[in-house]
Amino acid sequence: MIELKNVTKYFRTPHGKKYLLKDVSFSIPEGVNVGIFGRNGAGKSTLMRMLGRIEFPNFGEIISKKSFSWPMGLSGGFQGDMTGRANVKFVCRIYGKDRDDIEKALEFVKDFSELGDYFDMPIKTYSSGMKSRLSFGLSLAFDFDYLLIDETLSVGDKRFKKKSKDALMRKIERCNVLLVSHDMGTLKEICDVGIVLNNAKLHYCDNIKDAVTMYDNINK
């Protein structure tokens, strides 16, 4: 279960505070895949990062005993002067992996990302697509209770997109998902329940189709 207790989140702007959430409380039950809906700029990605305890509220708390991935496809946290291999090792250590787990992760990520010799070259020499493939592979190398996915269901060219999406769908069979997407078909395919973010409030729907309908009505 993920529980929000009196959660408020805002950012300071030249025009005052911009609230994304204002005194929000509710619970998300276990064992469901969650779609997150909202207009551009509403704070969907920030909400997902808070649910995954990557960002934190200004007030209130979010409570869960579950483990969360970093947002799928995120490559901004890599150290550019370090190699792909060194970055993977660094993330493994952050997550408390032992030597055997690190070796398995290195082997998996190198094979999955298809980076070849670039795996042992500095990240700053990578294209954006290569960074995404490394990040995607790294996300799949670990087991989490929840995968955080912000739009990115696959990366790379047509062949690699199919490979990455197939691998992700197999992964989803063993965990749950927090998914931000503008693709209503994908949300209905993967998610069971929905959260609609609107005017700094969250509306929980225990059926994903009801969340789609609510979001469509907001945008009329």
Regions of the chain with pLDDT less than 70: 73-77
Domain ranges within the chain, ordered by starting residue:
2-69+186-218, 84-178
Vertex 146 angle, CA 65 and 24, to 5°: 65
Architecture of domain 84-178: 3-Layer(aba) Sandwich (3.40)
Q: What is the pLDDT of residue 73?
A: 55
Q: Which pLDDT tens digit goes with each residue over 196-215?
A: 999 999 999 999 999 999 99
Domain spanning 2-69+186-218: CATH superfamily: P-loop containing nucleotide triphosphate hydrolases (3.40.50.300)
Q: What is the pLDDT of residue 195?
A: 94
Q: Cβ–Cβ contacts within 10 Å for residue 183, how many?
A: 12
Q: What is the pLDDT of residue 115?
A: 96
**Residue 178: strand pairing partners:** 34, 148
Which among 68, 71, 51, 31 is positioned nearest to 151, based on CA atoms? 71
Q: What is the pLDDT of residue 45?
A: 86
- State how beta strands 146-150 and 59-63 pair: unpaired
| CATH topology match: 2-69+186-218 vs 84-178 | yes
